[in-house]
């Protein structure tokens, strides 16, 4: 995607969580994944707000629920990462790598 | 706690994700059998993101709307003809409605300009001869006031005319005499000084006066030190105690000054009824309760004073009703008419948008194909309609500002508070509301129509989809014709009613006759000097070369001045009286008025104070009193002075006293020499210029008595026209609306036929190629228009037949379902619809057959 497509903090985390959870990536599952991996508790509303933003940026898209899940349209919305989304995560990671390269900081410094 | 948290979450989340998130959260809560604390933390943490989601949605909608608006503006600029036609049509409709709304708002919707005006009542004496709203005798008024408990205060007043001599030229002014509690009753304060004190009305009343703001400014330069100044009114010096603001306008806008109403009037006979009364209800008392309390009081007075009060009751109505009751119906009719016209205007714009929608079918289909949602397309169309309506509304406000000025200048007298009608915030808000309604009415239908375009078909370029457009437009035109028919029926009913009304013979000849009121102060003029004054003044007029007749008399027919009310008149061979208006006349009066002499003679110089008492009666009184007998030479007696028997010396033609739509009333005329009158009108019929007659009369009066003032100089034709003014105004306004409605409808008919011709060019071309004659196809097309018109006028006539009885009280001499009127309207609409259809249909004859076929 375009260079302005660098991801925000939480955006990157949610996008990676979507990629990890696929094809079971829905709101609460994603929230749980983040909590499990980062030990950070995230509110469900925040997850949805970020999902919405990512969808608007075409980094994720709505996908059919996996076979055998509840088809109630009101219930879970499943997401999948798009090629643009993959590029965006990769570019963000690459940016971070470029910024890190040659840098020697004490471990435990302010990174995420 | 969890339920409360869930409620909060539901409240903050935007609607489209609300159920998903709540269900997700609940499912997780159940799965892990989590704690309520976890749930609450989840909700608390979700509030801020939920608000962020809402903000994003708002921003997105605003961006969409802005895009729609930009697109709409581009489109409107590109299609100038469409834009101008639509904007002008709506400007006409919205402008007319804004004007009428400004009237309705000021006159009907706002309270009277008095404190807590809903507690104010008007009270009348109910006359046993079926006049429920009659004047009150002073003694009756004071008895009502003392014996009733329903009123916080009860005030009385009466109109009068006075001559002011101490400030510049002598001038005769409309004034009122009122009780000391009038301003407190109405809740109005003087702008300078004070109103009368109760002590100033005791007995004869003190020589004090309260000025109106206008008189204070015009005659006294608006100086603030006016209190305590002495001015001369009717020859009596009076001290000014205060100035009332212009807004007071009570009893009418005409009143220029106020004098105390003397208590001693209470001792007058109860048969002299000339007061009006206004009361402020005590807190918590209803109108009905007040009426119920007054009725037994009136009954007690009936039994105590049977000679004067038998049959006299009391009528109570809200002051609002008394002030605006007469204009409510006409105003509502005008409002309905202007709304009907607005509907037609909206329908025209709707039709234009549909026609454009048909032309844009392809564009819309493409937009739908590339993913614009139906609701998005609908909104786009609606934004365009809104743009047109806003432009129309803006133009309408400008037009209405002008229109309100015209209304104020042309309606002046008959509509209360007309001088305060203006383009203010409320009227602007009304115009804005009308504009939004217009946008909805004219835009929503085409928008809906356009948003459900079947995409693939439209892209295929077929003409089938446009068929639907034509059908919808036809339905709209039928509706327009129906509304226009109903409106035109109403307008024509009023016009024909007015024609009948003005062709009623008034009983006098209104042409080339000048009128001027003159009032001789009773202090300086005794009966003999009064006669001498009129002799000298009239002789000066009669000496003019073109003068045909000059006299004095009054109160004049149709002048609105009823003067003394009616008296009983009996003749020498019967005892039961007939009620008749008693009028004064000098020699020359009947000739000057053009009132026909039917028998006997008119008054002459020989009828003096000391000669045989005489009277002239009109044919109406002659018929009622004498039947077939010849009244000339017989004697009559008037209840106002029973001691005198008068010889009937002549019979004159009947006149209409109150209005042309009521039958001519019986009149008895007395010579001014034998019974003095306070004020008479000089009547001069001349072949020459009325202005020069007025100049001669002014000079003559100034020569005879420099302290006298002429007032109300006008022509008899003005006076006669004034009596039908409300009817003419209503007819004119309704006529304007109906004409505009019919024209707009014809434009609609033209438009739909033009569209039919344009869109079926291929089909028509094929027919022409196959040898059909052009004329027959034109005839066929016009017939389509006539079918629409027939359905329309049929529906419209039905509507008119149902609605027209609402006009009944505004009609004279014609039924609300007059068949001739309806027939005329139907014929006019059918004929004009045929013409409006023929013009575009003729294009068929110019159709290039080969070219249309080649397009395919």
pLDDT tens column, B552-561: 998 888 876 6
Could you tell me the pLDDT band of residue B456, with boundaries at 50, 70 and 90?
very low
Phi, psi of B596 (to 5 degrees): -70, 140
Residue B460: pLDDT above 60?
no
Q: How far apart are CA B179 and CA B183, in angstroms?
A: 9
B219 in Cβ contact with B167 (< 8 Å) = yes
Residue B133: pLDDT above 70?
yes
Which of B8, B16, B17 to probe the A interface (max A CBs under 10 A)?
B17
Residue B795: pLDDT above 90?
yes
The predicted structure's pLDDT at residue A71: 56
Tokens at B51, concatenated = 């608000």
Instruction: Considering only CA atoms, give the Rg of chain B.
Output: 37
Q: Could you give the C-alpha distances from B670 to B56, B399, B601, B614, in angstroms and in order?
A: 89, 54, 13, 7
For residue A39, the distance in angstroms to the closest alpha carbon of chain B comes to 15
Q: How far apart are CA B578 and CA B582, in angstroms?
A: 12
Q: Could you give the C-alpha distances from B474 to B468, B745, B765, B791, in angstroms and in order?
A: 10, 12, 22, 11
Q: How wide is the angle at C-alpha B324 spanned by C-alphas B319 and B327, nearest 5°?
A: 160
Question: What is the pTM for the complete model shown?
Answer: 0.73
State yes or no: cis peptide before B555, omega within 30 of 0.
yes
The predicted structure's pLDDT at residue A68: 67
CB-CB: which of A41, A45, A75 is closest to B49?
Answer: A45
Please give the average per-residue pLDDT across B308-331, as a whole number: 86
Residue B458: pLDDT above 80?
no
What percent of chain B is modeled with pLDDT above 70? 94
Contact assignment for B49 to A49 by CB distance below 8 Å: yes
Tokens at B417, concatenated = 């508070």
* B202 C-beta neighbours (distance < 10 Å), count: 14
CB-CB: which of A27, A53, A56 is closest to B21?
Answer: A27
| Exposure string for B576-614, b = 16+ CB within 10 A, e = fewer | ebbbbbbbbbbbbbbbbbbbbebbbebbeeebeeeeebb
Per-residue H/E/C for chain A: CCHHHCCCHHHHHHHHHHHHHCCCCCHHHHHHHHHHHHCCCCCHHHHHHHHHHHHHCCCEEEECCCCCCCCCCCCCCEEEECHHHHHHHHHHHHHHHHHHCCCCCCCCCCCC
The predicted structure's pLDDT at residue A69: 63
Contact assignment for A48 to B49 by CB distance below 8 Å: yes
Contact assignment for B44 to A43 by CB distance below 8 Å: yes
Q: Decide if A49 touches B, using CB distance below 8 A.
A: yes
Torsion of CA A18, A24, A30, A35, to 10 degrees: -110
The strand pair at B151-164 and B192-193 is best described as unpaired
Please give the average per-residue pLDDT across B637-643, as a whole number: 80
Residues 6+ apart with CB under 8 A from B346: B90, B93, B438, B441, B442
Please give the average per-residue pLDDT across B329-343, as a whole number: 88
Task: For chain B, give the mean pLDDT.
Answer: 85
pLDDT tens digits for B138-173? 999 999 999 999 999 999 999 887 888 887 778 888
Could you tell me the pLDDT band of residue B26, with boundaries at 50, 70 and 90?
confident
H/E element, B661: none
CB-CB: which of B24, B48, B53 is closest to A44?
Answer: B24
CB-CB: which of A43, A76, A77 is closest to B46?
Answer: A43
Residue B221: pLDDT above 70?
yes
Please give the average per-residue pLDDT across B116-136, as a whole number: 84
Q: How far apart are CA B108 and CA B773, in angstroms?
A: 60
The predicted structure's pLDDT at residue B66: 85
Please give the average per-residue pLDDT across B295-322, as a whole number: 89
Residue B334: pLDDT above 80?
yes
Phi, psi of B855 (to 5 degrees): -55, -35
For residue A106, the distance in angstroms to the closest alpha carbon of chain B comes to 33
The predicted structure's pLDDT at residue B796: 92
- Select from B644, B642, B620 the least CA-distant residue to B631: B620
The predicted structure's pLDDT at residue B185: 92
ipTM of the complex: 0.81
* Residues of chain A found within 8 Å of residue B13, distances taken between Cβ atoms: 45
The predicted structure's pLDDT at residue B552: 93
Contact assignment for B21 to A45 by CB distance below 8 Å: yes
Could you tell me the pLDDT band of residue B653, with boundaries at 50, 70 and 90?
very high
B474 in Cβ contact with B347 (< 8 Å) = no
B848: buried, middle or exposed (CB in 10 Å: 19+, 13-18, 0-12)?
exposed
Q: How far apart are CA B731 and CA B81, in angstroms?
A: 34
Q: Which of these ranges, B84-88, B459-463, B602-606, B741-745, has the smallest mean pLDDT?
A: B459-463
Contact assignment for B20 to A32 by CB distance below 8 Å: no
The predicted structure's pLDDT at residue B242: 92
Within B123-256, where are the H helices?
A: 138-147, 182-186, 213-220
B313 in Cβ contact with B126 (< 8 Å) = yes
* Residues of chain B found within 8 Å of residue A31, distances taken between Cβ atoms: 28
The predicted structure's pLDDT at residue B619: 94
* Residues of chain B found within 8 Å of residue A32, distances taken between Cβ atoms: 28
Contact assignment for B56 to A41 by CB distance below 8 Å: no
The predicted structure's pLDDT at residue B468: 66
The predicted structure's pLDDT at residue A112: 44
The predicted structure's pLDDT at residue B853: 63
Phi, psi of B593 (to 5 degrees): -75, -15
Tokens at B853, concatenated = 């076929």
DSSP state of B122: E
Phi, psi of B814 (to 5 degrees): -150, 140
Residues 6+ apart with CB under 8 A from B758: none
- Select from B753, B747, B760, B763 the least CA-distant residue to B783: B753
pLDDT tens digits for B368-415? 777 667 777 777 777 888 888 899 999 999 988 888 888 887 775 567
For residue A33, the distance in angstroms to the closest alpha carbon of chain B comes to 13
DSSP state of B810: G
Residue with tokens 């000739």: B591
Contact assignment for B20 to A49 by CB distance below 8 Å: no
The predicted structure's pLDDT at residue B518: 86
For residue B56, the distance in angstroms to the closest alpha carbon of chain A comes to 9
Which of A31, A43, A50, A72 to probe the B interface (max B CBs under 10 A)?
A43
Contact assignment for A32 to B47 by CB distance below 8 Å: no
Q: Decide if A40 touches B, using CB distance below 8 A.
A: no
List chain A pLDDT tens, one digit each, 112 residues: 444 567 788 888 999 999 888 888 888 889 989 988 888 888 888 999 999 889 888 899 888 877 766 655 556 788 999 999 899 888 888 888 888 888 877 655 444 4
H/E element, B821: helix B819-841
Which of B23, B35, B47 to probe the A interface (max A CBs under 10 A)?
B23
Residues 6+ apart with CB under 8 A from A32: B28
Q: Could you give the C-alpha distances from B432 to B100, B105, B322, in angstroms and in order?
A: 14, 15, 32
DSSP state of B264: G
């Amino acid at each position: 995607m375009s260079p302005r497509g660098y991801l925000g903090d939480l955006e990157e985390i949610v996008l990676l969580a979507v990629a990890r959870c696929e094809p079971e990536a829905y709101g609460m599952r994603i929230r749980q994944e983040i909590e499990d991996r980062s030990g950070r508790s995230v509110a469900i509303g925040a997850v949805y707000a970020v999902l919405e933003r990512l969808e608007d940026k075409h980094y994720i898209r709505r996908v059919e629920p996996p076979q055998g899940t509840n088809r109630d349209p009101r219930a879970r919305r499943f997401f999948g990462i798009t090629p643009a989304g993959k590029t965006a995560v990769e570019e963000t990671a690459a940016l971070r790598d470029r910024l890190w390269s040659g840098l020697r900081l004490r471990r435990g410094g302010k990174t995420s | 706690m969890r339920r409360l948290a869930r409620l909060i979450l539901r409240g903050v989340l935007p609607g489209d994700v609300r159920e998903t998130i709540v269900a997700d959260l609940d499912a997780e809560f159940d799965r892990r059998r989590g704690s309520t604390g976890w749930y609450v933390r989840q909700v608390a943490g979700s509030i801020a993101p939920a608000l962020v989601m809402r903000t994003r949605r708002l921003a997105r909608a605003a961006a969409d709307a802005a895009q729609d608006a930009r697109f709409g503006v581009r489109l409107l600029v590109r299609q100038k003809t469409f834009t101008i036609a639509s904007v002008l049509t709506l400007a006409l409709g919205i402008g007319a409605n804004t004007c009428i709304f400004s009237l309705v708002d000021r006159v009907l919707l706002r309270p009277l300009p008095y404190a807590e005006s809903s507690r104010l009542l008007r009270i009348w004496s109910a006359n046993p001869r079926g006049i429920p709203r009659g004047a009150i005798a002073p003694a009756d008024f004071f008895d009502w006031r003392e014996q009733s408990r329903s009123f916080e205060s009860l005030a009385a007043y009466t109109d009068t005319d006075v001559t002011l001599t101490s400030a510049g030229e002598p001038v005769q002014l409309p004034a009122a005499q009122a009780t000391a509690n009038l301003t407190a009753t109405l809740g109005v304060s003087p702008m300078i000084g004070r109103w009368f004190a109760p002590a100033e009305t005791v007995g004869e009343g003190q020589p004090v006066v309260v000025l109106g703001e206008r008189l204070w400014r015009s005659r006294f330069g608006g100086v603030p030190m006016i209190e305590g100044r002495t001015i001369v009114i009717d020859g009596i010096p009076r001290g000014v105690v205060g100035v009332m603001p212009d807004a007071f306008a009570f009893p009418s806008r005409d009143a220029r000054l106020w004098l105390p109403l003397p208590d001693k009037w209470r001792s007058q006979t109860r048969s002299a009824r000339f007061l009006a009364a206004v009361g402020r209800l005590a807190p918590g008392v209803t109108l009905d309760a007040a009426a119920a309390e007054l009725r037994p009081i009136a009954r007690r007075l009936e039994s105590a004073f049977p000679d004067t009060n038998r049959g006299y009751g009391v009528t109570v109505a809200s002051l609002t009703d008394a002030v605006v009751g007469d204009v409510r119906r006409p105003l509502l009719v005008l409002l309905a008419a202007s709304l009907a016209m607005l509907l037609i205007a909206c329908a025209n714009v709707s039709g234009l948008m549909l026609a454009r929608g048909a032309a844009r079918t392809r564009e819309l289909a493409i937009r739908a194909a590339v993913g614009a949602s139906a609701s998005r397309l609908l909104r786009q169309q609606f934004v365009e309609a809104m743009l047109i309506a806003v432009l129309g509304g803006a133009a309408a406000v400008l037009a209405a500002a002008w229109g309100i000025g015209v209304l104020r200048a042309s309606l002046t007298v008959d509509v209360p508070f007309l001088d305060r009608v203006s383009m203010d915030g409320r009227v602007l808000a009304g115009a804005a509301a009308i504009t939004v309604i217009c946008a909805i009415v004219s835009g929503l239908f085409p928008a809906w129509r356009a948003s459900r375009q079947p995409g693939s078909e439209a892209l295929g370029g077929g003409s089938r989809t446009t068929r639907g457009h034509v059908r919808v437009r036809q339905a709209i035109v039928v509706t327009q014709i129906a509304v226009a028919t109903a409106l035109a029926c109403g307008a024509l009913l009023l016009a024909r009613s007015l024609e009948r009304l003005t062709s009623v013979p008034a009983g006098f000849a209104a042409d080339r006759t000048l009128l001027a009121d003159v009032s001789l102060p009773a202090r300086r003029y005794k009966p003999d000097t009064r006669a001498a004054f009129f002799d000298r003044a009239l002789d000066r007029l009669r000496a003019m070369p073109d003068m045909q007749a000059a006299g004095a008399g009054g109160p004049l027919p149709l002048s609105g001045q009823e003067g003394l009310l009616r008296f009983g008149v009996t003749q020498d061979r019967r005892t039961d009286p007939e009620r008749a208006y008693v009028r004064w006349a000098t020699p020359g009066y009947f000739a000057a008025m053009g009132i026909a002499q039917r028998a006997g003679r008119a008054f002459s110089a020989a009828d003096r104070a000391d000669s045989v008492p005489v009277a002239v009666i009109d044919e109406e009184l002659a018929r009622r009193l004498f039947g077939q007998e010849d009244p000339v030479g017989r004697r009559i007696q008037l209840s106002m002075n029973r001691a005198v028997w008068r010889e009937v010396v002549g019979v004159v033609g009947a006149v209409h006293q109150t209005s042309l739509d009521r039958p001519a009333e019986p009149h008895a005329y007395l010579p001014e020499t034998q019974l003095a009158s306070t004020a008479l009108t000089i009547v001069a019929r001349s072949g020459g210029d009325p202005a020069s007659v007025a100049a001669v009369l002014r000079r003559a009066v100034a020569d005879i008595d420099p302290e006298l003032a002429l007032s109300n100089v006008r022509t008899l034709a003005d006076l006669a026209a004034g009596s039908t003014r409300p009817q003419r105004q209503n007819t004119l306004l309704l006529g304007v609306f109906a004409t505009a409605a019919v024209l707009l409808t014809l434009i609609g008919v033209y438009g739909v036929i033009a569209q039919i011709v344009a869109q079926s060019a291929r089909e028509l071309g094929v027919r022409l190629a196959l040898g059909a004659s052009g004329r027959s196809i034109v005839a066929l097309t016009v017939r389509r228009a006539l079918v629409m018109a027939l359905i329309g006028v049929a529906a419209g006539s039905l509507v008119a037949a149902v609605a027209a009885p609402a006009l009944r009280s505004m009609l004279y001499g014609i039924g609300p379902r007059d068949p001739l009127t309806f027939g005329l309207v139907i014929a006019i609409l059918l004929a004009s619809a045929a013409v409006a259809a023929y013009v575009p249909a003729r294009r068929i004859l110019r159709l290039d057959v080969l070219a249309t076929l080649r397009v395919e």
